[in-house]
Chain A
Amino acid sequence: MCTTYIKICNNQPLMSLLFDSLRGLLYPLYLVITIYSVVQYRIWNLVDRIIEHFGSDNVKRVEQLIPNMKLPKHIAFLVGDIGCDIDDFSDKLSQIVFWCISCHINSISIYDCEGKFESNIDAIQEKLVQNCNHSLFTEKPQHSLVVKISTPCHKNTKTIHVNKKMEPNESGDVELAFLSHFSLGKPNIAQLASRIIQRYDGSNKSEDQIKEMVSEQVTVFRHEMFSEPNLMILIAPIKALYGFSPLHLRYVEISHVKKSLKSFSNQDFAKCLLQYAGCQQRFGQ
C-alpha cells in the first residue's frame, strides 16, 4: 500500500488529473486567499499612512544628513500615470525640480511615455519661474541659478533664471530634461540602427568591422545622447518601466512610489533619497 501511495505521489500526470477534478474545492480556497490578500494589503497601506503621518519626518532627516549623505548626481522621475491637467502637473513638476535643487542634485530628467511633458514645456517653464522660491527645506533660496531645459526629440533648449542659495563651490547650472518613449526608448534604438544602415557607404568592410562600428555607435548612444541616471523614482500605480530606454538602465537604483503625480509629496521624495543613500553598488564584483 505504501509503495502504491509513493507511486501515486510521484506520478505527476495523475496528480494533475486529481487536482483538476478538485477544482470545485480549490476555487473557494482561491477566493479566500485573494480576499485575505486584498484586506491585508489595505490594512498595511493604512498602517503605512499612519506611520507616515505620525512617524519620523523624512525631510528633516535628509536635511540633517545631507552634508554627508550619498546623493544621486543624476535623478530621473518616471511618471506612469499623469492623472491630472496641465496646470496641476506643471505645478507639481516645478516643485519636484526645486526639491532636487535644494538637495544639490543638478541633473534632473522627467519621463512620461506619451510625451505630455515634452509637449507642454512652456507651461512647466512658467511654473518654474512662479515657484522659484520653493524648497524642500525650511530655509528659502536667495541667489540666482540657471536652469537649462531640454528635450532630446525637439533639440529644444531653454534657459531660465531662478533663485537658489549657492554653496561656495557649486556650479550654477541645473540641467533639466523632459523625455518620452519616442525621444528615449526603443524607437530611438531602431533609429540608431537605421542611421547606421543609411550611413554605410558600401565600402567592402568585413563583418567584424561592421560589428565593431555598431558597438562603437551603441557606446556613443549610451553615453552622449543621455547619461544613465543614478536614481529613478517611479511614480506609478505599478512597478514597471513604461518604455524607458533599455540602454540606460544598467545600474539605475529604482524607487517606487505608488501614488499619483499630484499626491507625490516631499516626504516621498525624501524617503527615496534615504533609500538611495543606504544602497550598495557592487557593479558585478
Chain B
Amino acid sequence: MFIISWIYKKIVTIIHTIILYSLRFGPIPQHIAIIMDGNRRWAEKHHLDKKDGHASGYIKIEETLDWCEKLGVKAITVFAFSIDNFKRTESEVDALMKLAEDKFVNMLVKNSSLLDKHNCAVKVLGKWELLPDFVRNAATKVIEYSGKYNNMYMNFCFPYTATEEITQSIQKVVLHRINTNHDSETHEKTSILKDLEDNMYTKHCPPLDLVIRTSGERRLSDFLTWQSTSSAVFSFEQVLWPDFSLWNLFSDVLNYQRSYPEIKKYREQMKKLTERTERIEMSESTH
C-alpha cells in the first residue's frame, strides 16, 4: 500500500511539473501576491481549532512556493498578518505568533529547509515594532540565513498594512529631504514619486503582476495597494486558502496569459502617466 501510494504521489508530482513547465511558454507573472483568506472558515468546516486552520494555511504556502518556483515566478508576497488582526482575541493572536516563530525556526534546519530546496530568500515586511521579541529574533535569523539566496523571494507581510507602508515611505522621504536641507542639486535628480517607490517594502522585488485572494471575498483589505494600482491584475478565487490547489494557480496564471495583450496595454498606459507625473514634478521643482 505504501509503495502504491508513493508511486501515485510521484506520478501526480510529475504531471504537476509537466503542467507547470508547459505554462512557461506563455508570459509568467514575475511577482505574485496572495491574500490567504479562509483559514478559520476552513477549520470551522472541518471541526478543528482555528490554530489548526492557520497551520494548514502554512502548509499550503510551502506547496505554493514549490509550484511558483517551477513556474519561474521570482517573488511571492503573502499577507500573513494584518496590523488590524491584533483586534482578534488574545489567544488567537498568541497562537499565530507562536506558529510564526515555529515556522521561522523550521526554516533554519539545514539541508531539509524550504529555503535551501528553492534557493529562496525570505523577507518579513511590516511594522516590526508590534511583534513580540521572540518572533522578531526568529525572523531576523531567517532573513540573515537566507540572505545568500537569490533565485526567488518569499515575502511575509507580518504585521502589515498598505497604509502603514505608504506612511513610513512618506516619513522617510520627508525626513531625508528635510535633513539634507532641500539641496536642490541632489533633489533635481530624483522625483518624490520615485523616492516614495524606492522606500516601499517590496522594492527588492519585480513589479507586482498578479494578486490572488481566496475565499471569495473581493477586496484588498489594505494589502499592497501602492503596488497594485499601477501594474497588477486581480484574481478572486472562491476556494478557502487551505484548499487552494495547483489547478487554482494554473487557472489564475492561464487567465493572466490570456489577458496579457490588454495587461501590456494597461501597463504602458500607466508607465506614460507616471513619466508625465515625474516630468511635471521635476519642471515644477526647477521653477
Chain A residues close to B by CB (< 8 Å): 9, 12, 15, 19, 26-27, 29-30, 33-34, 37-38, 41, 80, 113-114, 181-182, 185-187, 189-190, 192-194, 196-197, 200, 207, 210-211, 214-215, 218, 222, 237-247, 249-256, 275, 279-280, 283-285
Contact = CB atoms under 8 A, between A and B. Distances in A.
Contacts of B47: none
Contacts of A245: 229
B105 interface: no
Interface of B: 10, 13-14, 17-19, 21-23, 25-26, 82-88, 117, 161-163, 166-167, 170-171, 173-175, 177-178, 182, 191-193, 196, 217-222, 225-226, 228-230, 232-236, 254, 257-259, 262-263, 266, 269-270, 273-274, 277, 280-281
Contacts of A218: 163, 166-167, 170
Given A9-B13, A251-B219, 6 more contacts: A30-B25, A34-B26, A186-B277, A190-B196, A250-B220, A280-B217
A253 to B, nearest CB: 5
Given A196-B174, A238-B233, A253 B218 contact: yes
A210 B266 contact: no
Contacts of B266: 80, 238, 240, 242
Nearest to B181: A202
Sort A-B residue pairs by CB-CB distance and give the 8 closest, nearest first: A284-B84, A246-B225, A239-B234, A30-B25, A190-B193, A250-B222, A246-B226, A241-B229
B54 to A, nearest CB: 15
Contacts of B83: 284
A275 B218 CA distance: 10
20 contacts: A19-B18, A19-B21, A26-B22, A26-B25, A30-B22, A33-B19, A114-B269, A182-B273, A186-B226, A190-B193, A193-B173, A193-B192, A196-B174, A210-B178, A211-B175, A215-B171, A238-B259, A243-B229, A249-B162, A253-B218
